[in-house]
Each structure stands twice: as structure tokens, then as C-alpha cells.
Structure 1
Amino acid sequence: MFKHCVFIPVTVLQIGVTPPYRLTTAPIAYLALMTLSSTFLCQSRGITRLGVLRVDQFLASPRARVVNGFSLKHDLHLIPANVISKKSKHMMATTNSPKIAPYGTWESPISIETISGKSISLQECAVSPLTKAIYHLEGRPAEAGRSVLCYTPFNSSSRLEVIPKDYNCRTSIHEYGGAAFKPYPAEEAVVFTIPGDSRSVYKVALTKDDHGNISAGEPATLVPGVSTKRYGNFAINPQDSKWIIAILEEHQGSRPDQVVNSLVSIYGEPGDTKVESVARGKDFYSSPSWSPDGSKISWLQWEHPDMPWTGSQVWIADWVDGRPQNQRAVAGKPLAESTSQPRWSPDGKLFYCSDKTGYWQLYQFLEDGSSKHITLEGLDHGEFSHAEWQIGWHSYDFLTSTKLVANYTANATSKTILIDITDSSFKVLDLPFVDTHAASIHTVSESTFTIITSTASTPSTLYLCTISGKEVTYKQIACSTEISVPSNLISNAQHIKFPRISSPEPDTEAYAWYYPPQNPEYKAPEGALPPLVISLHGGPTAHSTCGLALPIQYWTSRGYAYAYVNYTGSTGYGRKFRDALNTKWGLADVSDAADCVHYLVSQGLVDKTRVGIVGGSAGGYGVLQAICSYPDIWAACVSNYGISSLRALVEDTHKFESRYMDNLLWNLDASQEVKDQVLDERSPLLRAGSIKAPALLLQGVDDRVVPKEQAEEMAKIIKSNGGVVEVELFEGEGHGWRKQETVVKAINLQEDWWRRYLVRA
């Protein structure tokens, strides 16, 4: 990017991120000014910002101001040095005209390093009931994907890492994990667990010295690790913190029927604990929770062939002398009603989410054994929960006994509201957030709460939100990247719906987020249309969103059009749309991808001869199915840990998803003959003879969800049929990329692939 730059010394004044504003100065920084571009990268004291400079203002005023790419809370001023060469001024004055270059060849300041080493994933958060300190978990690709538990005191911007450098706070229950830690209610301490061979459960306490400095002690073992046992989803008794309810997943063998899930109690202190069963006998348990007085517990449970989003039940029990009594189901129905997030209000009332209306709505369990729907006028199509791929979802919480803050999704876009339970009234909070993490809303006080979310122009960030009368403000606690992208470089997502002309159910619609190419420094030759990348999300029971995603902006800023398809079966549009994929997986989702291309071509937005398709996991399966089913549409494809053989998936996958296919591929009463036929007809491995598109297959060696043999066999078949294929295996990676070097190599390989087969420059 900086092949031809003039480096101009400047002084940088940065206004602090949060009120009260703090002015900090750096004696020297460097403004890298492209000879043909006004985009610059400014670095000072470890702070990196991308921006666009108004050259006329720079030359006319002794205080040049960055006018694009920064919010008021991240303002940046540049003061030019006393001496700027005439040559430099001339070069700055000639940078207004965009360069003409083919789509897909544009240079962009959004680099691979930005996406990999300089970005983290904000995975979940929680709040100390005692001190109101905020804990959060962040995944760091630069540290081999380690999940680090961080601590931010209330009303402070300082941050502390709670666990030592050689610890990784993560659980792999259901293989996808979640809920790996929990703050104690009456002391500044946290319980957490780690993956790997030890899988111990630890307690770590935080202390404050005479000068007010907070430090974390050494982790003390609560439950000694056994490689076959996985703990997580901890709930600590608010009246007696020696009692912890948790999920235990025991791997007694490698087959799904040799994995036993149960609800257990952990009692005691480090060095003296005992683990006992609370509930067992069902296939799955999650979401344990205590009533405020510690007298009751609640949890979720479900059995095969259900997934938690197809049929799950809320159970409660009285807690008497360290044992559950009077256990009973209070909501949910197998194969018909999905429930989630059972949670107690401060005055001891139980709430939960249910999709009995066709959308995940809020309910209150009443003393007479019935349940009351919290009916919110105009929000009957809002989804207040999510498909629970991970344990520990937390998308609503109580500010008081009568007021709760909640996030809901409609048309794959989220909003945050304040609900008054007494009269079922609500207020939409004036927040710009569009994509909120499912495990992020936690009460801090009666007027403050946490949220991990993104806007259309800012990436995933952990905020502390404060409600004051009619006003709501938000303060950044942690951000997923230190890079700020200028607003005129961002491709804004457009929600489109398109007719399903190729689908098994014509005269219906599917959806996508469309991102046009965007880079103010370039324009394409007259009459040219951009190459298109179609992206399929994983799951398939999930959805794509419009929150700022730097990996998407990486492509659009280089001149690609990008469409992230919410195909039939996606969440965020209600249960009817979600269930429409049942028995049609590998058909309806794939035809939706093809129809999205037809629609964008018909609108004159993309070049129909240069269309690629990419996806991971279930999305990777969709990619391979697409190039088999619609071979003339695709110029190339990239499959990340995608399924090539459904039979191998059915015979060799983990317990959580071992019956997932029963609904997606056939009716529950289907004969073995029908099942065999479907497995053969919808396995790309057996249909590879029709493939025309060059295929790049990226795969983790340690993947338990989709074993590496699936990629290896697919590559072998494509080659034997004379097709073009490359396969890359990543050592030390599972189902998804955690390491920085993997992310870098995967993007490099993909970019080379698109340039070779889509850009063709």
C-alpha cells in the first residue's frame, strides 16, 4: 500500500474515547500520504487510525481536520509541521481524482493484518453483582486463538487480564462451547474452565492493595481436570456461593451415544469440593439459573431428535438441603415449541422465551402454573432469542423487578428496547446498534447495562449503556479492532428480498444483505460491472447481519460486490421461515443462492460471468452443492470446512448435531431406503462429475464437526474428474480459524483464487 508515500511529520491530538474527554499529545507521528490517494494511516503510541484528509482544508488552515471516518467520540486532529516541502504540497493538491482501475484490483487500507492480528473476537461478558465490574472474554488470533478473560472496574477505563498467559478460558460443551466463566455474587472472584486435557474448573480472586491497584491471584482448582469431562454454564447460588450448578458433558467414548450430558452441583471451596448429579437422563441440559433467594433453580433440557431451537423445555425445582425437589416442566414441547433463557427477576419471578407464536417472545411463569405472554404492541414478529448454538445466551436482563432491557431481531436486524412489565409498554432505545451478540446484555445498575454489538459503520464493541430519562448514552469498554475505517470507504449493507424462481417452493421470497463495491480512491472503467461473491452463512440455522464486518469490507473496498444470503431456514425471520428448510437442506438453500445471483444480475448490479461463492461449515456444504446443482452460474468457489459427504456426516459427527439432519433431510418417519437415497442424492462427493467451477477447499486438521477426510476425499474426486481443485489443511485448527497465521493464509489463498478466476486481470 505504501509503495509511493511521502511521510510528513505531524503532531497528533486525540480526544479521549469517553467522557470526560481527555486530551493527550504525542510529540511526533507520521502522516503517510499516498501520491494518488488522500487515504492515510496515522500511528501514535500504539493507536492506529485510518482516515481521509480534506486536502483543501489541510492547505488552507494551520489545523487540518480529518473529516471522514471518525465519530465524535473518536475525533482526531492533525496539526501540520512547520516545514512542508513544496513538492509535498503539490502532491497533496493532485489527489482528488479517483484512479480508474478494474473491479477487484483496487488497493485498500483494510489489510489482512487488520482482520487477523489487529482484530479480536468479543465472545461474551458478565457483571460482578458485588462491585459492578465488567468481565469479558476476548479471542485473540495473535495469541494462537487464546480466549482471555478481562476485567474492567466500574467507572474505570483500566483493564486487567484475570487469567495467566498460559491459561485459555474456553469450554467445548456441544463442541461449540460458550458460558466458560461466571462472577461470584458476594465476592470479587470468578469461576472459569479451560479446554484441553486438563479441563479443570478454577476460582480466581481479585484483590485491591492500599493504593487502589487491583490484581488477580493465582487460579485455585475447584474441580480437578479429567480429559473426558467438560464443565461450563456455571450458576452460583446468590445466598451461598459454595453451591454452583453447572453443565457436565462426559465423553466415555468417541461415539455420540457414549457422550453423557447432565446437570450437576459443585459444592465447596478450592481443595475441598464434591460434584453430584442434579438432573440426568435426558440428552441435553443448559442455562441453569438460581432464584434470588436461592430456594429454586431452573434450566433447559431437550432430547434427540430435537435441537434446542426445534423443541426444548424449561424445568424448575425447589432447592432443599442441597438437593432438587419437586422437579417439573413449566414450558416447551418436543418437536413443536422451543424455549430458551429461563431467568429470575429480582423479586423471584421466572421469565423465559418461547416461539409458540412463531417468534421467540418473552413470557412470565405465574404462581398458578400458567404462563403470561409479555405482549408488546407492534413487536409480535420480533425474535427475543436466538438459535442456541452455544450455551449461555443472555439477550435480556432486569434493571428492576418491573423493568427489563431486551434485544430483539426482525428481518435479521436487532434493536434494543426498555420494557415495563407492569403494563407491557416499551420504549425503543435511541441506539445505532444493528447486530447484538446473543450473550451480552447484563444489568450493571438500575439504569446501566452492558451490550456487545456493532453498528453499520463500527465493528463489534463492548459498551456500557446508561439510561437517563429520555436519553441513553454509551461508553466503549472494549473493541474488536483498533482500526477505525473512514465512512466513505464503508460499503453500506442493503437488505434485499428476491423471488425464489428456482426453489422447490416458487412464489416465495428469500433475503440477503447486498454490499456494492466501495472505495473513494477508485472507479471502474465505464460500462464495467463488478465480480460478485455470494456468501452462505453456517448453521444452517443462523443468519447474516448488517453490522460492520471488516472481512466483508476487505472485499468491497477492493472492488468486489458481496451478497450475504439469508436463505430459507435462516433465523431472524420467524419459525415458519426457519422450518421451511426441513427436508429440503441442500436444495432450498442452494436454489436461494442461485436466485440471489439471478436477481442481482437482472438489476444490472453485477457481472454474471464472474460470480464466486464462499461459505463455511453448513455454508461450505451449500457451496459444494451449489457448484454441483448450478454448474453454469459459478466461476469459482471457496469452501471452508464444508461437508462433502452427508453419509459421513451422519455416521461420524458429534453428539449435539448427530440427529440434526433428521429434520433437515427427511421426515422423522422416513424409511432407511428413503434416507439412503437422500444421502446419496445430496452429497457433493457423489455429484462431483457436474462441477465446472475451480474449487478451493480450506480445512482444519483437528475438526471434530467436519473431519478433514471430507475435504481430502472431495479434492480427490474433483481431480479424478479432470476438475480444478486445491486443498489446504491447517494444523492445530478445528471447526473455524483461531490462529492469526491461519487467518492470514486463508485470506491470501482466497484472494489469489478470486483474482485468478473472477478478476482475471
Structure 2
Amino acid sequence: MVSTAPYGAWQSPIDAELAASHDSRPQAVGAVGDELWWVASRPAEQGRSTLVRRRADGSEASALAAPWNVRNRVFEYGGRPWAAVARETGGPLVVFTHFADQRLYAFEPDAPAGPAPRALTPLSPVGGGLRWADMVLRPELGEVWGVLEEFTGDAPSDVRRVIAAVPLDGSAAGDRGAIRELTDDRHRFVTGPRLAPDGRQVAWLAWDHPRMPWEGTELKTARVTDDGRFEGARTLMGGPAESVAQVEWAADGTLIAATDRSGWWNLHRVDSATGTSVNLCPREEEFAGPLWAPGLSWFAPLPSGLIAVVHGKGAAVLGILDPETGELVDAAGPWTEWAPTLTVSGTRAVGVAASPRSAYEVVELDTCTGRARAVAAPHTDRVDPAYYPEPQIRTFTGPDGREIHAHIYPPHSPDHTAPADELPPYVVWAHGGPTSRMPLVLSLEIAYFTSRGFGVAEVNYGGSTGYGRAYRERLREQWGTVDVEDCAAVAEALAAEGTADRARLAIRGGSAGGWTAASSLAATGLYACATIRYPVVDLLTWAKGGTHDFESHYLESLIGPFAEVPDRYRDRSPAQRAGQVCAPFLLLQGLDDPICPPEQSERFLEAVAGRGVPHAYLTFEGEGHGFRRTDSLVRSLQAELSLYAQTFKVSAPGIPVLELKG
């Protein structure tokens, strides 16, 4: 029976524990012979990541028991953490990075003595140590090649990155000198090597401060000698105003690159001798995305010459491209969003996909039959799907008539309806990055709120990816302005059309989204409250070395060159505008966050102190930039719900009451 109850006070079977257990997805999928391997998060196991193995017979199991944690801190966001090769005898050889010490380890899961990993690289007492990502195995040389991030001092900026070779026999486990560097360190950032089929050429990407990889990168190539050295390294394409997001070799030795030289990341065939290129499928769509970590993969050439590619405008779907004709055929099936992790094996293309009705799962496309099916980590409905939100894809009009893309999730429950004269509260979700976007996929975190009578509006504000370079660059020197205006425009529009209650609007975001949430409180007066998660709030501290190396110059484009516009760094910072904050807020912070350290949040709290603004500050021991552990996820969701319940004057039975201090 459907009962009538105020919005926000509905009872729901989707509790915080269920939403937290759903907060993971397969990552870094790869084909190892006839097997599939991928990384899976384990929130209930202190947030560790494990390698999962799916054998050819369909059986599936974790390949590494606790405490092994398959993750690294390259760029601090972590790059692809494993590589493997199939062998004729003895089973696969696997190399991975272990989060606790950042060392490379090798193990043979089918070895008679058991899969005891053995260290390949040494510990370093300097700064952040030695870190590894985006590896490729070279068993014929007895080596594994990958990105080496090496700290030379204690400061976040005391770091160098090169492509390096590590012996597989373990001789470098205690000897840094046994690691062979394949490139020099003239570039601040590099990705892992991509080898031509004959092993005679190698390609990789490189870039330097102050550029971010979605602003400008260089595609580098070199010859590979018989003894595994790089010779004649040169830049083939790219530059300060061209972002090459991924490079791969096709089976016939053709070089394929995703570059945005047309204003959109499209696939190009590149002449490895001259650098001239041909757009294989000219479209105003993205065939790649922002390279936040080395090893992301939006496309993968098949042995047949076809190319599996994730593409789209906004949403990203899987298609098969014929590079000779430019014909692109999309995979059939319910999946509307594919993650940037693709692999191929024979005629199969395998990735990770989801939809508004299903969570991320490992999906295989047979390019011969056109059949796509979930083959591993399949989505299961742990609650009646009738409680899932029903999203709407919408485009709003912002200042100066600009388009703003958003996903709207109205309150939804099969058990409840609200009084006819009541409008629902809405929470605007601002994504992180800010060079990123919100995917349209099933999220039980969203359902946690919508099934209780709260609406959610995900805003892909100006600066978001998926809509071309011009949309991405709307945020250039406008961070804290365009994002705030776009979120406010969506909230105002929902209120004006009678979808949302103007008096009960909230905003939430994490990282860069936390900046937008805090900035919105200080600038708009529109929101009744905010949830601010591990945020950026003090640009002056950030610009003076208060963050990690990867994003340490990001503000040059988001705000402007500090030497030229220092006042802008002060004037836009929420920490400097705390006097304008009068709405309640919840601040959530991981205590081990190297990207947005606790000092940022604490500075904001100091600025708010004594002003009578109700707020709560929750910290999480052992959590970094984003929460991984079940207890952290549960506690943060319940606190957020309590904030909204108190602010909007609705009941939240069974939820611990968040203590707000003025």
C-alpha cells in the first residue's frame, strides 16, 4: 500500500550499509590468454583492492588474499597497477604494485608452492619513495617496463618520472642501481610504453607543468634496440594546445592516437615516420577522455584491424570502428556507459559497463557475432529495482545563454507519495576534477536519497568532459565562477518550473566538487545547506606547494597565472570568504589525504569559527582522497542524511543524529 508522507521522510530499504557495499566497480580489466583479470575494491576489507581472476571455464575468484592491496600512488590518483602474460607452461606470470610499500611484486598463481608474491623493486627512504604504474611485461628480456615515479626529496615537488625496466629475477629488490632507465627525465610526466608488434618501436605520452594532460601532451616515439634500449626519441605529434590522450599500435604496425586537434578527441592513424595523421572517424564526439592516471584505455585495436572504442557526446558507449571505411557500429545491449578500461583478445572486446538500471560489470563483445554479454562481476539487484531512481537527461540554459548538461533524479519510491501541495527538496551534486563528468549509471548512493524523498541533480557544468574542448575550456580562469553559476542555474530552473522547493535546496561535492559546494555557499545564498567532502578551499596554500605534484600547477589554467592575478587566488577562495557563509554545512575529510590535506578543511573551519554557523566536521583515520572503507562510507552517508533532515525539518528515524555546532 502506498502511504503519504513528507518528502525526505520516506522509509527505504536502501540503507547506508547497502549503498556502501555497492560503492565499487571492476577496474583495469585485462585479457591474459583465455582468462580475464581485473582489479576489484573490497570496502569491507578496509578498502583494499584485489586482483580477480576469471578462468576460461567461467570460475571467478580473488587471486590475492589480504593484506595484498593492488594499487599505487603514481600521480597520487594511481595508475594501472598490474600486468600479466600467459605462458605455455606454469600458468600466467603476474606483476603488480602493492599499496602499503609501493613496490612491484611478481607472482605465479599456478606455481606448486603457491602464489607467494616476491618483491622486484627496492624501498626508498626518500620522500614518497619509488612508485610504479602502467607496466608491460618483457619476459623475452627478463624485464617489466613501466612508469617510475621517484622522489628525490621530502617535498611533493621533489619528484622525477621516467620509463624504466625492472629485472624479473628480483635482482633489483634491494638495489636501485639494477633498475634500468629507458627515457631521460626531461619531461615531468610520462605514461607507460606501448610497443609495436615487432618490438622495434615504442610510443608513449609526455607533458610538463603547467599543462594538464587534457590541455597539451606530446606523442613520443623511439626505436627499440635488440638489448632493449630506446634510441632516437622524438616528438611525433601534440604540443601545448593539443591533447593526445592515448596511443596504441595496431596489429599491422599502424600507430593509432586519440587527439583533440579537431576540438574533439577523435582517433587518428599516425605515420610513425612523418607524424602526418588521418582522422579515422571525424565526429563531434569524444573517443577518449581526461588522462587522470597512466593506463586508462578508451580504445583497443583488434587483431583483425578493427578498433574497439568507447565514444559519445556525454554518455560513452562501446563501438567497433572500421578504420578503412570509418564505419562505426555500436554494441547492442542495455549498457549506456563504458569506463575507460578496454582490452581485446582474438575477436573479443572486453570492458566495464553500466546503465541507469545496472551497476558496473565486466562485459564481453564478440565482434564476429555482435553479441554482448556480462561475463563477470555481474550486476545483481540486492534490493527491489522499483526503488531505483528514474533519471532524466536534460539541458538547461545558463548565463549568456550557454548550455548546461545535467542528470535529474526525482524522488522515487513504490511505497510513498508526498502531499499534493508539497514540492521536494533537491540536492545539487557537483562532480570532482573539475575536468571530469557525472556518468549516468545506477548509484545506490543516489538511490539512498531519492528513495527517501530527496531529488538529486547531477550537473556537468562548464569545464566538464564529454562535450568537446570548447565546453571543457569554459572553466579556463573561471573556476569558482562558471561552475558555481551553472549549478545555481540548474537549481533555479528546477525551482522555477515547480520541480524543486526553492527553500529546500542543498549542494554537495567532493574534491573539486567540494570547492564548488563551498564556493556556492559563500557566493549565492541559494542553498539551505551543503555537504563538503575533502575539498579545495584555500587557493593560496594550494599554489604555494600545499598539494601533490600532478595538480600543483592546475590553477594556472583554472584561476590564472599566480604572478599575474594573485588577488584572484585570495578573492575566490572559500576560506577567504567564510564571512559570507551563513548556511549549515557538513565537512568530511580523510586524514591521510595528500591531494586536499586536512589543513585545507581546518583553515576553512577556523575562518567560520565564532560566527554562529551550524556545522559538523567529521574526519576519517586511514582514508585518503575519497573514502574506501565500509565504515567510512556508512558514517558519511548517515551524517549527510541527518544534515538534510535537520535543515529541511523532516524525520530520519534510525539515522544517528549529526551534532551541529554553531
Query: For this structure pair, what is the TM-score category when the shorter chain's length is used for normalisation?
Result: over 0.9
Q: Partner of 1:145 in structure 2?
A: 47
Q: Partner of 1:706 in structure 2?
A: 596
The structural deviation recorded for 1:291 is 1.3
User: Residues 339-488 of structure 1 correspond to what in structure 2 (within 5 A)?
Assistant: 339-376=244-281, 380-410=283-313, 412-439=314-341, 441-446=342-347, 448-469=348-369, 471-479=370-378, 482-488=380-386
Q: Partner of 1:125 in structure 2?
A: 29
Q: Which amino acid aligns with 1:579?
A: E
Measured in 2, the distance between the counterparts of 1:217 and 1:661 equals: 45
Q: Which amino acid aligns with 1:415?
A: V
1:121–1:140 CA contact under 8 A, matched in 2: no
Q: Partner of 1:255 in structure 2?
A: 155
The question of 1:102 aligning with 2:6 is answered yes
Q: Partner of 1:90 in structure 2?
A: none
Say how many residue pairs are matched. Answer: 638
Helix, strand or coil for the counterpart of 2:632?
A: helix
Q: Which amino acid aligns with 2:102?
A: R
1:455–1:547 CA contact under 8 A, matched in 2: yes
Measured in 2, the distance between the counterparts of 1:388 and 1:297 equals: 19
Q: Partner of 1:646 in structure 2?
A: 539
The structural deviation recorded for 1:255 is 2.4
Helix, strand or coil for the counterpart of 2:69?
A: coil
Measured in 1, the distance between the counterparts of 2:598 and 2:272 equals: 52
The question of 1:521 aligning with 2:415 is answered yes
Measured in 2, the distance between the counterparts of 1:477 and 1:104 equals: 36
1:104–1:759 CA contact under 8 A, matched in 2: no
Q: For 1:333, which of 225, 239, 250 is the aligned residue? A: 239
Measured in 2, the distance between the counterparts of 1:759 and 1:127 equals: 52
The question of 1:181 aligning with 2:82 is answered yes
Deviates more, 1:576-585 or 1:292-301: 292-301
Q: Percent identity?
A: 28
Q: 1:459-501, CA deviations, whole angstroms, 9 ceiling, x for partnerless residues?
A: 11112222343x423133014x654443432222211111113
Q: Partner of 1:583 in structure 2?
A: 477
Q: Partner of 1:69 in structure 2?
A: none
Measured in 1, the distance between the counterparts of 2:353 and 2:141 equals: 31
The structural deviation recorded for 1:590 is 0.4
The structural deviation recorded for 1:307 is 0.6
User: Residues 308-323 of structure 1 correspond to what in structure 2 (within 5 A)?
Assistant: 308-320=213-225, 321-323=227-229
The question of 1:204 aligning with 2:103 is answered no
Q: Partner of 1:264 in structure 2?
A: 164
Q: Which amino acid aligns with 2:94?
A: V
The structural deviation recorded for 1:564 is 0.5
The question of 1:570 aligning with 2:464 is answered yes
Helix, strand or coil for the counterpart of 1:459?
A: strand
User: Residues 551-700 of structure 1 correspond to what in structure 2 (within 5 A)?
Assistant: 551-631=445-525, 633-651=526-544, 652-666=546-560, 668=561, 672=563, 674-700=564-590
Measured in 1, the distance between the counterparts of 2:349 and 2:592 equals: 38
2:144–2:166 CA contact under 8 A, matched in 1: yes
Q: 1:53-83, CA deviations, whole angstroms, 9 ceiling, x for partnerless residues?
A: xxxxxxxxxxxxxxxxxxxxxxxxxxxxxxx
Measured in 1, the distance between the counterparts of 2:450 and 2:54 equals: 35
Helix, strand or coil for the counterpart of 1:659?
A: coil
Q: Which amino acid aligns with 1:179?
A: R
Measured in 2, the distance between the counterparts of 1:361 and 1:625 equals: 34
Q: Which amino acid aligns with 1:556?
A: T
1:191–1:201 CA contact under 8 A, matched in 2: yes
Q: 1:626-667, CA deviations, whole angstroms, 9 ceiling, x for partnerless residues?
A: 000002x1111010011221111112111100100001101x
1:201–1:231 CA contact under 8 A, matched in 2: yes
The question of 1:751 aligning with 2:641 is answered yes
Measured in 2, the distance between the counterparts of 1:493 and 1:605 equals: 14
Deviates more, 1:340-349 or 1:482-491: 482-491
The structural deviation recorded for 1:367 is 4.8
Q: Partner of 2:193 in structure 1?
A: 288
Helix, strand or coil for the counterpart of 1:413?
A: coil
Helix, strand or coil for the counterpart of 1:655?
A: coil
Q: 1:373-402, CA deviations, whole angstroms, 9 ceiling, x for partnerless residues?
A: 3332xx611111111112211121122242
1:200–1:221 CA contact under 8 A, matched in 2: yes
Helix, strand or coil for the counterpart of 2:39?
A: strand
Quickly say closer, same or farther: Cα 1:396–1:485, change in 2 above 3 A: farther
Q: 1:93-136, CA deviations, whole angstroms, 9 ceiling, x for partnerless residues?
A: xxxx31101111111121211122465332221111xx221111
Q: Which amino acid aligns with 1:299?
A: W
What are structure 2's unaligned runs of at least 5 residues?
652-662
Q: Partner of 2:391 in structure 1?
A: 493
The question of 1:302 aligning with 2:204 is answered no
Runs of 4+ aligned residues of structure 1 deviating over 4 Å after TM superposition are none
- TM-score computed with the length of structure 2 as normaliser: 0.93
Measured in 1, the distance between the counterparts of 2:648 and 2:28 equals: 37
The structural deviation recorded for 1:732 is 0.8
Measured in 2, the distance between the counterparts of 1:703 and 1:124 equals: 23
Q: 1:612-637, CA deviations, whole angstroms, 9 ceiling, x for partnerless residues?
A: 10000000000010000002x11110
Measured in 2, the distance between the counterparts of 1:118 and 1:514 equals: 21
Q: 1:514-548, CA deviations, whole angstroms, 9 ceiling, x for partnerless residues?
A: 11111111100112110000000000000012111
Measured in 2, the distance between the counterparts of 1:173 and 1:721 equals: 40
1:700–1:734 CA contact under 8 A, matched in 2: yes
2:503–2:528 CA contact under 8 A, matched in 1: yes
The structural deviation recorded for 1:414 is 1.3
Q: For 1:195, which of 82, 88, 99 is the aligned residue? A: 99
Measured in 2, the distance between the counterparts of 1:199 and 1:510 equals: 41
Measured in 1, the distance between the counterparts of 2:19 and 2:105 equals: 32
Q: Partner of 1:21 in structure 2?
A: none
Measured in 2, the distance between the counterparts of 1:401 and 1:126 equals: 19
Helix, strand or coil for the counterpart of 1:551?
A: helix
1:169–1:180 CA contact under 8 A, matched in 2: yes
Q: Which amino acid aligns with 1:578?
A: R
2:310–2:319 CA contact under 8 A, matched in 1: yes
Measured in 1, the distance between the counterparts of 2:248 and 2:290 equals: 17
Q: For 1:538, which of 396, 410, 432 is the aligned residue? A: 432
Helix, strand or coil for the counterpart of 1:746?
A: helix
2:350–2:362 CA contact under 8 A, matched in 1: yes
Measured in 2, the distance between the counterparts of 1:368 and 1:261 equals: 26
- TM-score computed with the length of structure 1 as normaliser: 0.81
Q: Partner of 1:8 in structure 2?
A: none
Helix, strand or coil for the counterpart of 2:358?
A: coil
Measured in 1, the distance between the counterparts of 2:290 and 2:592 equals: 25
What are structure 1's unaligned runs of at least 5 residues?
1-96, 210-214
Q: Calculate the aligned-residue CA RMSD, in Å.
A: 1.8
> Whose Rg is larger?
1
1:201–1:225 CA contact under 8 A, matched in 2: no
The structural deviation recorded for 1:422 is 2.0
1:301–1:315 CA contact under 8 A, matched in 2: yes
Q: Which amino acid aligns with 1:284?
A: F
Helix, strand or coil for the counterpart of 1:206?
A: coil
Measured in 2, the distance between the counterparts of 1:540 and 1:711 equals: 18
- Which of 1 and 2 has higher RCO (CA within 8 Å, sep 6+)? 2
Measured in 1, the distance between the counterparts of 2:265 and 2:148 equals: 27
Measured in 2, the distance between the counterparts of 1:246 and 1:276 equals: 11
Q: Which amino acid aligns with 2:276?
A: S
Q: Which amino acid aligns with 2:343?
A: H
1:150–1:159 CA contact under 8 A, matched in 2: yes
